[in-house]
Amino acid sequence: MKILVLNAGSSSLKYSLFQGDDSHLVAHGVIEQLAEHSERDHAWALAQTEAALIEQGYIRELGDCEAVGHRVVHGGERFQAPARITTEVLDAIKTLCELAPLHNPANLAPIQHIWTHYPRLPQVAVFDTAFHQSLPAYAYHYAIPQYFYDAHRIRRYGFHGTSHEYIAQRTASLTQVPRNQSHLISMHLGNGASVCAIEYGHSIDTSMGFTPLEGLIMGTRSGDLDPAILLYLINHLGYDPKELDTLLNKQSGLKGLVGHNDMRQLLDMADAGDTQAHLAIEMFVYRLVKTVGGYLAIMDNLEALVFTGGIGEHAAQIRERVIGRFPAHFGLKLDASANRKVAGETCISTADSRYQIWVIPTDEEWQIAQHTLAQLETK
């Protein structure tokens, strides 16, 4: 059994090949610097992927795989679970491009290429938004005229769903609480960052919204800000929609504050006395603690807080600052030694901490492979 997982971005294609009944990873790679309408497009990247897997002896052609699982960023309200690609599903994903114009077209490129060249090869779409379709209406609606939801489906969708779902599964196993009874807060912290409140194994709130721009301060994204700032930029500084999109998604966040979006570099700069880097880190931590604290206020119970993602898994200083920022009455207690020596899945709280605190490396590709297998088994 060979399952190929593809994660297509606007300028890159990540691939992972899983093999055997236990779905173990045997090959992984990233092809970067892709551009639409050039020789280095997604079709070219897929050919490079195929060549690499042939060279390593895993396949003779892509058609040797049992199935291909794709990360698709936006599934709207239509897709509440992964879906096997059909003509109808393909058309539906195309219509959702207007909700994710930077992501869904790129996700579609390898799907369409395989659909054309290997029509018998099963393909499965796994949606970032699907895990958050369990949000209650009061959590996903915005306080704008109802028309905009009815006519244009403007609402909170949430993202990083595959990562948060994986964390929910692993946390349930590690805490020995059945997933359908588990309560946790998952913090996916990387260049993109989001928090998810999970009750009884289901997402009940998440920090990203209509797009991945809402919520936490991120590497290059602003996160939450007063909407009137946009009006000011338009009316007084002459910004147009394209300039606003670039400003908020690519030039803001940590990069906008300091000029760099790599948290490791910011920590080094702060340690060397750079006051702007110190401020940016404080802002990042403060926004995160405020969000997590808000979720603690709405949850009936909690077993664990979980750090994941590049920053969450590797930045011990950030984890220490985050837990230390909570007032004592929250009862969170960090085991400093365990936090410094994290290796893989690690509990970093003390025995008398009110809630367990974990670092759990995410594995979105493995999760996509499992969903792909499940779709094959239902046919």
Q: Which residue numbers are catalytic?
A: 128
DSSP letter (8 states) at residue 128: T
What backbone torsions phi and psi does residue 284 show, to the nearest 5 degrees?
Answer: -60, -50
Q: Are 5 and 125 in contact (CB under 8 A)?
A: no
Q: Are strands 123-127 and 83-84 parallel, antiparallel or unpaired?
A: antiparallel
**Cα distance between residue 273 and residue 88, in whole Å:** 57
CB atoms within 10 A of CB 122: 18
- Radius of gyration over alpha carbons of the chain, in Å? 21
Q: Which residues of 29-53 are buried (b: 16+ CB within 10 A; e: fewer)?
A: eebeebeeeeeeebbbbbeebbebb
DSSP letter (8 states) at residue 138: H
Closest to 364 in 3D by CA, of 158, 206, 204, 128: 128
Q: Are 216 and 291 in contact (CB under 8 A)?
A: yes
**Cα distance between residue 350 and residue 162, in whole Å:** 29
**Cα distance between residue 353 and residue 125, in whole Å:** 40
Q: Please name the residue ranges forming H helices in 132-262.
A: 137-140, 146-152, 161-175, 228-237, 241-250, 253-258
Q: Residue type for 180, please?
A: N
Residues 6+ apart with CB under 8 A from 204: 134, 135, 136, 139, 197, 198, 298, 299
